[in-house]
Amino acid sequence: MSAILEVTNVSKRFAMGGILSRNYVNAVVDAGFTIEEDQPEVLTIVGESGSGKTTLARMILGLESISEGDIKVAGRSVSGRVNRAQRLSFMRHVQPVFQNPFEAFNPLKEVDRYLQASARVLLGATSRAQVEAAMDDALQKVGLSLAEVKGRFAHELSGGQLQRVAIARALIPNPAILVADEPVSMVDASLRMTIVNLLRDLRDQLGVTVIYITHDLATAYYISDRIIIMQEGYAVEMGPARVVLDAPEHPYAKLLKDSVLPVENAGKSRVQPADRKTAQAAAKLSGTGELVLRDDGRSVRLPRDGDGSVAV
Ligand SMILES: Nc1ncnc2c1ncn2[C@@H]1O[C@H](COP(=O)(O)OP(=O)(O)OP(=O)(O)O)[C@@H](O)[C@H]1O
Ligand SMILES: [Mg+2]
């Protein structure tokens, strides 16, 4: 087994304020996990707003610098100086799917031109026939075809169709990993589950690993193999999705489960703990303990009580 993605002790600190009042936000603290090349999965990252999900995703995509730690894709570090050839090679392995497809596509440019560019630059397709075959192949994988999409602008497609085109664009270089940051939150409720199901099918049929970022435990439970629950930059509990979500151990993970949303709101609503006071109490506990591996395969960041001993 070899790792396609290794995230090791990764932290991100943003400097805030001016020269006189400088302080820092610890957006991600000591994140770590590995994705094996021959073990496609849906790995969900869940947590409330500001918990560091997007920052972690952007570091994995090489869009944000890493303050500490290391991220390796196919054995190569993505941090530090990378030349164009290395960057392209990295993009062939890991591709993004963004939250809002209407922002991802320029309204004045036909959507198929994005797929064309990807086919030429990342796949190395040269002839028109090769480019079109690659585009059609990728579109078929998401339930569309080149004939349906060619020459059309973003506003001529529904949010669901456009997100499919965005996923097709991401699939063109046959990546091992898609990083999908809240991919269904801007899609109409009626189409949301079709996109979630598509992500699952990509894993099952194409062997693509999906890093699925969401606020929503219902869809997370439905499609995830593993889950990372984040709070204020820390992974507070992570492991096999069913193990963690059936009986969460960390106070914050328990709270999230209590606030689970109905499936019809999947991917849309924000995670909102039912009881604000308990949520704040749980927030104080996170980040104070160590991540401990359990027999059932999960890791829990055990809260410490006041005298420093571990409270279970
Ligand atoms: N470029 C930036 N400069 C300064 N602070 C930032 C920057 N990007 C993110 N942050 C801060 O880092 C923390 C984590 O933000 P991030 O966007 O990763 O959270 P998130 O979990 O994706 O939230 P959401 O669910 O709302 O998308 C927040 O406190 C945020 O304000
Ligand atoms: Mg985000």
pLDDT at 32: 96
Q: Count CB atoms within 10 A of the CB of residue 69.
A: 18
Would you list the DSSP string of 216-241? Answer: -HHHHHHH-SEEEEEETTEEEEEEEH
Mean pLDDT of 64-90: 90
Atom of ligand 1 nearest to the CA of 48: 25
Look at residues 206, 203, 205 and name the one whose alpha carbon lies nearest to residue 224. 203
Mean pLDDT of 8-16: 93
Strands 299-301 and 68-73: unpaired
CA 131 – ligand 1 centroid, Å: 37
Q: Which domains does the chain have, with CATH numbers?
A: 1-74+210-312 (3.40.50.300)
pLDDT at 309: 41
pLDDT at 152: 97
Mean pLDDT of 153-179: 95
CA 179 – ligand 2 centroid, Å: 12
Predicted TM-score of the model (pTM):
0.90
* Ligand 2 (single-atom ion) residues, CB below 5 Å: 54
Would you list the DSSP string of 137-197? Answer: HHHHHTT--HHHHTT--GGGS-HHHHHHHHHHHHHTT--SEEEEESTTTTS-HHHHHHHHH
296-311 pLDDT, tens digit each = 999 999 866 544 444 4
Strands 68-73 and 3-16: antiparallel
pLDDT at 52: 96
Amino acid at 286: S
Mean pLDDT of 187-202: 90
Q: Which of 54, 64, 231, 256 to mutate to test the pocket of ligand 1 (most atoms within 8 A of CB)?
A: 54
Query: What distance in Å separates the CA atoms of residue 237 and residue 168, rounded to the nearest whole number?
Result: 32
CA 123 – ligand 1 centroid, Å: 33
Type and span of the H or E element at 212: strand 209-214
Answer yes or no: are the C-beta atoms of 187 and 199 closer than 8 Å: no
Answer yes or no: are the C-beta atoms of 11 and 52 closer than 8 Å: no
Q: Where are the alpha helices (DSSP H) in 225-309?
A: 241-246, 251-258, 276-285
pLDDT at 68 over 50: yes
Counting ligands in written order, which one lies closest to the CA of residue 215? 1
CA 215 – ligand 2 centroid, Å: 9
Of residues 90 and 267, which shows the higher confidence score? 90
239-261 pLDDT, tens digit each = 999 999 999 999 888 888 877 65
Of residues 268 and 225, which shows the higher confidence score? 225
89-108 pLDDT, tens digit each = 999 999 999 888 888 899 99
pLDDT at 289: 76
Query: What distance in Å separates the CA atoms of residue 19 and residue 237, rounded to the nearest whole number?
Result: 36
- Residue 300 has, within 13 A of its CA and on its CB side, a CA count of 21
Q: Whose CA is nearest to atom 6 of ligand 1?
A: 14
pLDDT at 11: 96
Chain position carrying tokens 């969460």: 248
Query: What distance in Å separates the CA atoms of residue 234 and residue 222, rounded to the nearest whole number?
Result: 24
Q: Which of 53, 59, 211 to mutate to test the pocket of ligand 1 (most atoms within 8 A of CB)?
A: 53
Q: Whose CA is nearest to atom 7 of ligand 1?
A: 14
- Kindly list the protein residues whose Cβ atom lies closer than 6 A to any atom of ligand 1: 14, 16, 25, 27, 47, 49-55, 215
Mean pLDDT of 158-172: 95
CA 139 – ligand 2 centroid, Å: 27
34-55 pLDDT, tens digit each = 999 999 999 999 998 999 999 9
φ, ψ at 161 (rounded to 5°): -65, -40
How confident is residue 312, by pLDDT bands cut at 50, 70 and 90? very low
Residues whose CB is less than 8 angstroms from the CB of residue 37 and which lie 6 or more positions away in sequence, other chains included: 1, 2, 3, 4, 74, 176
pLDDT at 73: 94
Query: What distance in Å separates the CA atoms of residue 84 and residue 122, rounded to the nearest whole number?
Result: 12
Residues whose CB is less than 8 angstroms from the CB of residue 126 and which lie 6 or more positions away in sequence, other chains included: 120
How confident is residue 217, by pLDDT bands cut at 50, 70 and 90? confident
